[in-house]
């Protein structure tokens, strides 16, 4: 049994190393396309959550799914902006790469706020859910202010 467990751990480690190697081997253009897709999904879940939280639509049963998706997407946003992905059709400002510590701090704030939002939704308290969504929205806006091109 011990050998099977060790073999399983070894295979898992090798698979993870292969995935990490594949991610680092990606072309910057592909990383940018991926990042844009992920951030677009993030925006979609934020917009859908806002419509529900603000009482614009009656899809309350879907809010938990949106909140979970936001928590998953925001788990490691900073990793979507690796070195050498600072060109082409991107909304990211140069400050992402010029001030990486500040960017990572904002990304971490979004991670924490999205997890808190998901937890509030799961708790079922409307006031706490609204407050947590506002905090998440504010975290997103703060990051966009300094690290994203102005949207027209």
Evaluate whether residue 78 is within a structural domain: yes
Whole-number pLDDT of residue 24: 56
Evaluate whether residue 17 is within a structural domain: no
Evaluate whether residue 18 is within a structural domain: no
Evaluate whether residue 86 is within a structural domain: yes
**Phi and psi at residue 148, in whole multiples of 5°?**
-135, 140
pTM, full prediction: 0.81
- The range of the structural domain enclosing residue 92 comes to 27-147
Total of domains in the chain: 1
**Are the CB atoms for 80 and 143 separated by under 8 Å?**
no
Give the chain's mean pLDDT.
Answer: 88
Whole-number pLDDT of residue 1: 47
128-138 pLDDT, tens digit each? 999 999 999 99
Whole-number pLDDT of residue 127: 98
105-115 pLDDT, tens digit each? 999 999 999 99
Task: Please report where in the chains the tokens 């938990």 appear, as a residue.
Answer: 64
């Amino acid at each position: 049994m011990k050998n099977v467990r060790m073999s399983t751990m070894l295979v898992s480690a090798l698979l993870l190393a292969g995935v990490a190697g594949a991610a680092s081997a990606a072309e910057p253009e592909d990383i940018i396309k991926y990042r844009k897709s992920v951030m677009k999904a993030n925006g979609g879940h934020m917009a859908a959550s806002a419509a529900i939280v603000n009482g614009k639509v009656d899809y309350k049963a879907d809010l938990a799914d949106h909140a979970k998706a936001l928590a998953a997407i925001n788990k490691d946003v900073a990793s979507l902006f690796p070195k050498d992905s600072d060109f082409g059709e991107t909304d990211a400002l140069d400050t992402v790469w010029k001030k990486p510590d500040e960017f990572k701090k904002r990304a971490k704030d979004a991670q924490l706020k999205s997890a808190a939002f998901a937890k509030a939704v799961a708790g079922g308290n409307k006031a706490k859910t609204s407050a947590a969504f506002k905090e998440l929205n504010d975290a997103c806006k703060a990051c966009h202010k300094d690290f994203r091109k102005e949207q027209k």
